[in-house]
Amino acid sequence: MTKDTVVAFRAPDEFSPDPLTDLLRQGARKLIAQAVEAELNAFITAHSDQTDAVGRRRLVRHGHLPEREVQTGIGAVPVKVPRVRDRAPQGAPLRFTSTILPPYLRRARSVEELLPWLYLKGISTGDFSDALAALLGPDAPGLSATTITRLKADWWDDYERWSRRDLSARRYVYFWADGVYFTPRMDEDRQCMLVIIGADEWGNKDVLGLIDGFRESTQSWRELLLDLKRRGLEAAPKLAVGDGAMGFWAALHEVYGKTRVQRCWVHKTANVLNAMPKSVQPKAKAQLKDIWMAETKAEANAAFEFFVEAYGVKYDRAVKCLTKDRDDLLAFYGFPAEHWKHIRTTNPIESTFATVRHRTTKTKGCLSRQSALALTHQLMLSAKKKWRKLDGQNRLPEIIQGVEFRDGIKHEIKAA
């Protein structure tokens, strides 16, 4: 009698079908068929008054197109799209095109968005088939390494079209700017991505610029800002939020000289604390928070002076790091209080690129320039759907008109 216990594990391709997933796919197939049928009925009804030469209805059903499979988040779902016949074509014949199942659709949008996320999370192109088979089923077609490579080429085309789009239709009030560094590094000595996010006059956030740059140099930022201006952003934003990268601020003053500066409190706090011993950092961090969370600029200045007096003797380097940007750190008090939580930091960029900064132990060597730009663009398009609009949207037209705000409140000038 042996004491050894051997547990045999089945290989991935030996897994039995999941009854629940099969049931979901069957239900999805029925729901899709019903939705497409409703689309077809609406299309035929919209043209029911049209007849042919002998008085018959112009449009009649004409079977179905060949069945095809669409990759979805629950695996491959077989679908069939009905078609119609136009009995009396006059010029171009009437054709039915489903908005739910457009021609040549092979993958649901959720699967398309999954691919760049998987790549940015560290799945190499050679492992995509195995990774997606676990999610979508072992029979998922069209998801080989070659397909992923072709999709990356499509993403690059999307990025190039996006980077040439016209920007003159909207007025942007705020900018957030940051340089995002990659691990592994990018090739061609392009060390980072330069990103600008803007908030327009209705409070909507949008990605305005995304290029690769040489370590956030002034020249790289200047190229990006001049390109935005060339494509229609003539009016300077009222406020730009960024970290201590001097390249951006130098370029901003050249291109949009009237824009006010707000230094990011998250970056500044980290820089100040790095110049202090760890034993002091928790208390110092709380006292820094007292500055930027103060209700008025006067209270913020009082908290500022307290920090300088408390730490100036022992930790002069930390205090100097803080005081050299004093005016720029408190610029937000001249804007509506509803916007303060949005404009005190570069969080719109930081939160979006948290995934990018943790990219990947599996990628060998460097990211190519095209791969980095194309994939980052896809990531931002996906993240953009979850961005919140600015609070206090009714204040944005007032900012554009030059209304003065003091301590976050509209300043009314009393008549003499």
Are 390 and 298 part of one and the same domain? yes
Tell me: pLDDT of 190 over 60: no
Q: How much is the pLDDT for 55?
A: 80
Whether residue 279 is contained in a domain is answered as yes
Q: Are residues 117 and 204 in the same domain?
A: no
> Which helix (H) or strand (E) is 310 found in, with range?
helix 297-311
Residues 184, 158 share a domain: no
The answer to whether position 10 is within a domain reads no
Residue 310 lies in a domain: yes
The average pLDDT across 286-314 equals 95
Average pLDDT value for the chain:
80
Mean pLDDT of 28-51: 80
Tokens read off for 293: 């969370």
Pairwise pLDDT comparison (150 vs 232), residue with the higher score: 232
The span from the CA of 263 to the CA of 331, in Å, is 8
Q: Say if 62 falls within a structural domain.
A: yes
Same domain, 236 and 336: yes
Report how far apart, in Å, the C-alpha atoms of 153 and of each of 142, 157, 160, 161 are: 15, 6, 11, 13
Most confident of 108-117, 208-217, 375-384: 208-217
For residues 219 and 310, state if they share a domain: yes
pLDDT > 90? residue 280: yes
Residue 35: pLDDT over 80: no
Total domains in the fold of the chain: 3
pTM, whole model, 2 decimals?
0.70
Residues 316, 344: one domain? yes
- Same domain (yes/no): 121, 254: no
The verdict on residue 1 lying in a domain is: no
Residue 305 has pLDDT above 60, yes or no: yes
Which range among 187-191, 262-266, 395-399 shows the weakest confidence by mean pLDDT?
A: 187-191
Is-contact 92 113, C-beta < 8 A? no
Q: Look at residue 141 and tell me whether its pLDDT is greater than 60.
A: no
124, pLDDT greater than 50: yes
Q: Residue 233 falls within a domain, yes or no? A: yes
- The residue that leads in pLDDT, 65 or 400, is 400
Using pLDDT thresholds of 50, 70 and 90, give the confidence band for residue 49: confident
- Specify the range with the lowest mean pLDDT, choosing from 141-150, 341-350, 367-376, 400-409: 141-150
Whether 314 has a pLDDT exceeding 80, the answer reads: yes
Residues 178 and 62 grouped into a single domain:
no
- Domain boundary (49, 71, 86) is at 86
Range of the domain at 351: 172-400
C-alpha distances out from residue 276 to 258, 263, 280, 313, 319, Å: 35, 20, 7, 12, 10
Examine the domain organization and report whether 198 and 156 are in the same domain: no
Q: 291 in a domain, yes or no?
A: yes
Q: Is-contact 190 359, C-beta < 8 A?
A: no
Does 360 lie in the same domain as 244? yes
Do 215 and 300 lie in one domain? The reply is yes
Same domain, yes or no, for 212 and 143? no
pLDDT in the model for residue 232: 94
For residue 131, the model assigns a pLDDT of 60
Whether residue 148 is contained in a domain is answered as: yes
pLDDT of 128 strictly over 70: no
